[in-house]
Each structure stands twice: as structure tokens, then as C-alpha cells.
Chains A and B, each alone.
Chain A
């Protein structure tokens, strides 16, 4: 398959490699001077291009052996509802919109405390060798199995024990994920009437859209989305006016009251019918997501801002950073999480997408390609964090226990980190975005929004700064709220399924008492962690985010275990390293991190060590009042967090051991392996494999009389001509 390259192709790819290499050299060699973000973009894009062109092609044709003559489930089972062959460009957008969320916007911002270099290297290397590989391989195997889910594949290929462990893992991870996402928006919206008003307005807007789609003009999604976006922007502009009016007090909410609002909202939203809130919200957040990401790309390229953060800060080696504790290995990898490798994507790659793939050869572009796009979003997020004045970055991302509650104390604490920012400057920054204070706005979203505001206002002028800040906050809050609703439903579904084995009626999704009870349990569970995160004296994000990162990466470990098992069971031992090597890496990272979170003696890192310090304080009898309450809270929180870290690690070790057993059995006795792959059926579809058709593919399309989207060859299997074809 890897033919000899033409001289032209060699010249082009040498140039691409050079661009990437120059980008990396500039980033790595800069010492003490500011570097333009354009170099980071060059390094990332150059590397992505090389990774896509060579590594993903190797995986597709040598390892997976994608077969364009083989009909996909979409072609075989086409029912025009969930199974239907979809134009590859549409499916790329679909899949990208489905995998991208708030994760890659938050993780890289937090990781910036170690400097831009460690984070960027992992985002780029991680996606090329692990994240994109996982997404593509899972998509491929699921496509070969009629779109089976990861859980089903784990059960079928590994066994009931591994399957059950994987299922419990997914549920626990879901809960932590929802709590962390909710915490991110609580921190972004607390004491911000502008933010609360504009986000609050998304509820009536979504209800209106839902009503429109259900009653007025069913199914006219594109037009109602346009109306929705216009209303959304109006709400954003009105928010500024509300924040300055006498209504401002009504929309100024403390963190505690926001927690209650959000949990109640998510509970109600998740029991309401899908059409009322969830479906219209989904359309809005998808458009906002794609639009903002596109704007951000343009902004970074046009403004080419300078990176003010150091390449590698002292926190990288010392492990004493205020944003999250722990040293570079393993915590930078845990923190970056979704932008480089995200376990959650394996659920999408084995969900809707495999039922819509037109051609097996397209898994490369859709699986690997979408993840490269996701990774580039993470690069944008790290750029947004690093264009900020480092003093401002630390002021926004450190817990009050580190920098105190006043601008004065923050300024002094930050001087201790080696950066200067005066209390006046801090006040001025807050004023620029029309917020009361920017101190300890942890969670990544406000920092990201600040960076976006800086980048965009370099293009549009400083007058727009506060608008852009709140635009970015709204954009993140919008799809986090959608995720809370959708995630609660998924958690509930899993719970109903499990509890239904004990009490039958619970399995029926339309049984109201069951629905309300299971929804309440799920909301209660993540609501508990959210409450804990908000009240945590040590700072919720730096406690919960590592837990989120560990759980997400452990889910990736489960997905990679399933992939590696499948490669070995299908007789591809010599290529098992393709998913086996990232599996070993992610297992090493997450198990080390879990180990440190459980057993470390350093109270900044280890949960139990932290609890012991607080317990000593209580035992000493010297604490009283708030300090005593805080100590009790710390003891409870650290115990729960520590037990969870251990639980996640144990679940994954069970899955891996069970998989190893299955693999050894398959290797010893290859004849015993039962393939769950659907048998080969000849495809009657013609469609290009990549975004742009090659010369041969164009000829093939023309011969079949089809447009650039491809389609079924006319006259085959008695079908009518021209379906799906477009010019």
C-alpha cells in the first residue's frame, strides 16, 4: 500500500516536516524571551500533518487492513434512521461535534502552570500516538461489529468480569466528570450577574426552540438554530445592561446557591422530555462550539499573540504548583487528559458514528482526523492561558488558601512565585472584563475566557474585551449545562439497567417513579461531589480535577485494552504494540497517579496524608470554629477521594488482568478464538476515503455517475440510481 513517493510529494512532506521542526525548535530553545504563539501553531500543525499522512495511513492499511470492498453496517443495515450511510464530510463534523466538549479547554489551562512546553508536547505527541489511535481503532472495530458499544465489546471479547468492571468504571467516571464540569461553571458564574443572566436566558431560549420544533415547524433545525443564536447573542448583550442595572443583585449568586440551582436545574431538565430542553440545547451548543473554535483559530493566526508564560516553570520539577499539586510525571498527563487522549471518545466511536460510516476506509479521516482537530482545540486553550500575564494567571487559578482573599495578599503570594502583579493591575483586569474580582476564579473557564478576550480584542479593539470574555464564558457554560443534562440521563439509564435486574419495573424507561428516583440518585451523587468541591477548604478544582483526569485516562486504558485484545485475538500480535504501547504508557501514568494520590506522604499530593494532617489538627484540640469545621470537611473529603482513586485503579487492573488472560489463551490456542466480526459482504458503494478525492477515486465516481459525496453504484442490488449523490 505504501507506494514509492513521487518527487513532488517528497518535496511537500519535507517542507511540512521542516515547518513543524522549526516550530518546535523555536519553542524549545526560547529562553527568557517571549515567543509568538504562531510557532506553537506551526509546531502542532506540522506534527499533525506528518502523523496523519504517515502513521494513520500505516495503521489503517497495515494494521487494521481497512477494506473498501467490505460493506459497512450503514450500507448493510440502512434503515434511514440510525443506520444510514452519511457523507464523510458531514460525518466528520458530526463526530467532531460529538467528541469535543469542555475537557480540552480546561485541562491545558491548568497544565499551563508547568509552562507551555510540557503541556504542548503531550497534547501533540499524545494525540498522534495514543488519542487519535484509540478513537480510530475503536471506531474500526465497532464498525466491523455493527456498531457495538465499548461495554458490549468488552463483555464479548474479554468476559463478564472485565465487562462488569468496565461498566462500573464508566458509571463512576461519569459521576466525577459531571461534578467537575459543574464545578467549572460554578466557579465561572459565581458573583457574576452578567454571566448568570445570559446563561439563565438560554433556558427560555431553548424552551422556545423546543416548542418551535415540536409544534410550529417540526424538524426545521437549521432555521430555529439561527434564531436561537441571534437570541443568544442578544441575551449576552442584555447581560451587560442587567449587570449595571438595579436587577444585578438578583443575578449575583454565591457559589453555594449556584450549586443548588444547577443541581435542581439538571434534575428537572433530565426528567423533562428530550424535545423540551435537551435537543434544542444540543443544537445551540453545537453551533456555538463550532463557531467559537473557528473564531479562535482565526484570532490566534491573525493576532499571533506572544506567549508570556515560561516554556518550563519551576513547578514542573518541584511539584509545588498552586493550581494542582504533584510533579510533571504523572500529573501533567493526568491534567491535560482529553486534549491528548480521552477515554470518553471511545464511547462515541462505538456509538453513533460506526452506524453512519459509508466506507471502512473513512475511519482514518473520521476517527483519527477528528481527534487531531480536538487536539488543536487543546493547543488553542494552552495558548489562551499562556498569553496572559503569568501573575494574572496564578491569581486566577490559585485557591484562596494559597493567595489569600485580597488583591494585596494575592500580589504578595504571587511575588513568591517569581512574578509581579500589583493590586491595581489585578483590579484593572477585573474592570476590563466587568467582573468584581478575578482572584481564585479556578476551574480553567475564566482563564480561558480571559485569554480569548485578549486574543479577540487584539483584532476588534479593547472596547470589546468584556463582551468577548462573557462570550467565552457563555460558550463554555452552555455546553457544560447540556452535558450535565445529557450525562445525568446516561447515568440514569445505566442505573436503571443495573437496578432493573433487582426490581423489574425500573428497567422501563417510561415508568415515572423509577425515572424520578434514579434521576435523583444520579444528581445527588454528582451534586455531592460538586458541593464538596465548592466547600473544600483546599480548593475544589485542585482536589477534584486530578480525580477526573485519572478516571478519564483509566477509561482510555480500558478502551485500549479492548483494542489490544482484539488485535491479538485476530492474529495480529506483531501489530499489537500500536495500541499496546499507548496502553502501557497510560496505565503507567494513571496507576502512578492513583498510587501517589493514595499513598503519597506529601499532604499536597496524597489524599490520605492530607486527611491525616487535618485529623492531627482536630486531635490536637487547638482548632476551633471555622478552622475545626474545615478540618472535619477535609478529613471526610480526602477519605472519599482517596477511596475513589483506589477504586478506579482496581477496576482497571481487573479489566487488564482479565484481558491478559484472554490474550494468553488466544495465543496458546488460536483455534479456540471465536470472531464476533460480521462476515464480509461485498460493498456496492463508491466513496472517497479522504476529505478530498484522489485522481483514481474521482475516475471511479465519474464512472459510476456519482457526485463528490459518493453513493451506491446505480443499478446494483436493484436499487434506484443516484441516491445520496450530489455534485
Chain B
């Protein structure tokens, strides 16, 4: 019984972590991590912007070209 329960809990946890991964990817929350990883990969000593700075640049870029949003119908 406990064995079933533990595997059940483990499976639930795995499912939850997958959902969380999906939500974070979908909303673009991982954009910063991806960007830092990208910079580091090419140059481990690269200067990395802070998250605050990066997110600012990202929204401001949308300001400059608004066409990359959603569709209206």
C-alpha cells in the first residue's frame, strides 16, 4: 500500500513538474535563463545583463515593433 502511495506521489510530482516546466516555457519566463546560457556558451567570461535589465530590453523591444504580438481573430 505504501509502495503504491509512494509511486503515486512520485508520479504526481513528476507530472506537476512537467506542467510547471511547460507553463514557464510558454510564458517566456525562461527567456532570461536561455539568454544567459547562450552568452556563456559562446564566451564563458561574457558580461551578462541582470535579469531586470534583460526583461526591460525585452518589453521595450516590443514597444519598438509591435507586430510580434497575438492575432485578433
Contacts and interface: CB of A to CB of B under 8 A. Distances in A.
A482 B71 CA distance: 10
Interface in A453-493: 482-483, 486-487, 489-490, 492-493
B37 A80 contact: yes
B4 interface: no
A102 B73 contact: yes
A97 interface: yes
A486 B28 CA distance: 18
A486 B69 CA distance: 7
A347 B60 CA distance: 21
Interface string B9-48: 0000000000011111111110110110111010000000
A338 interface: yes
Interface stretch (A34-42, A84-92, A323-331): A84-92
A225 interface: yes
Contacts of B28: 221
B59 A84 contact: no
A619 interface: no
Interface string A69-91: 00000000011111010110110
Contacts of A487: 72
A351 B68 contact: yes
A345 B63 contact: no
B29 A219 contact: yes
Contacts of A93: 22, 26
A304 interface: no
B69 A490 contact: yes
Given A220-B29, A225-B27, A490 B67 contact: yes
A90 B22 CA distance: 7
Which residue among B23, B28, B62, B71 has the maximum number of chain A CB atoms within 10 Å of its CB? Answer: B71
Interface residues on B, range: 35 or more
Given A102-B72, A486-B66, A219 B38 contact: no
A483 B72 contact: yes
A218 B55 contact: yes
Question: How would you classify the secondary structure of chain B's contact residues: helix, strand, loop or mixed?
Answer: helix
Which residue among B20, B61, B69, B70 has the maximum number of chain A CB atoms within 10 Å of its CB? Answer: B70
A428 to B, nearest CB: 34
A345 B71 CA distance: 7
Contacts of B67: 149, 347, 351, 490, 493
Nearest to A487: B72
A220 to B, nearest CB: 7
A726 B41 contact: no
Interface string A89-122: 1100110011111111000000000000000000
Interface string A699-727: 00000000000000000000110010010
Contact of A275 (B20, B25, B59): B59
A227 interface: no
Given A221-B27, A493-B65, A282 B70 contact: yes
A644 interface: no
A37 B22 CA distance: 32
B72 A78 contact: no
A609 interface: no
B55 A213 contact: yes
Nearest to B65: A493
A450 interface: no
Contacts of A345: 71
B31 A348 contact: no
A84 B33 CA distance: 13
A80 B34 contact: yes
A489 B71 contact: no
A273 B55 CA distance: 14
Given A84-B34, A102-B73, A177-B73, A273 B68 contact: no
Contacts of A146: none
Given A279-B62, A486-B66, A98 B55 contact: no
A222 B23 contact: yes
Contacts of A81: 31, 35, 58, 61
B69 to A, nearest CB: 4
A219 B32 contact: yes
A24 interface: no
B1 interface: no
B38 A80 contact: yes
Nearest to B62: A274
A86 B30 CA distance: 11
Contacts of A294: none
Contacts of A337: 73
Nearest to B26: A93
Given A218-B56, A219-B55, A509-B63, A104 B73 contact: yes
Which residue among B52, B58, B68 has the maximum number of chain A CB atoms within 10 Å of its CB? Answer: B68
Contacts of B59: 214, 273-275, 279
Contact of B38 (A78, A275, A347, A486): A78
A337 B58 CA distance: 34
A99 B21 CA distance: 22
B58 to A, nearest CB: 7
Contacts of B66: 274, 486, 489-490, 492-493
Given A275-B59, A486-B72, A552-B73, A221 B51 contact: no
Interface string A214-234: 100011111001000000000
Given A90-B26, A104-B73, A337-B73, A274 B52 contact: no
15 contacts: A80-B35, A80-B38, A90-B25, A93-B26, A98-B70, A213-B55, A220-B29, A221-B27, A222-B27, A222-B29, A273-B59, A283-B27, A286-B26, A337-B73, A351-B68
Interface of A: 78-82, 84, 86-87, 89-90, 93-94, 97-104, 149, 177-178, 181, 213-214, 218-222, 225, 273-275, 278-279, 282-283, 286, 337-338, 342, 344-345, 347-348, 351-352, 482-483, 486-487, 489-490, 492-493, 509-510, 552, 719-720, 723, 726
Given A282-B70, A348-B71, A490-B69, 19 more contacts: A80-B35, A87-B25, A93-B22, A100-B71, A149-B67, A177-B73, A218-B51, A219-B54, A225-B27, A278-B62, A337-B73, A483-B70, A483-B72, A486-B72, A490-B66, A492-B66, A493-B66, A719-B41, A723-B41
Nearest 9 Cβ contacts at the A-B interface: A103-B73, A80-B38, A489-B66, A221-B27, A483-B72, A218-B55, A275-B59, A219-B55, A90-B25
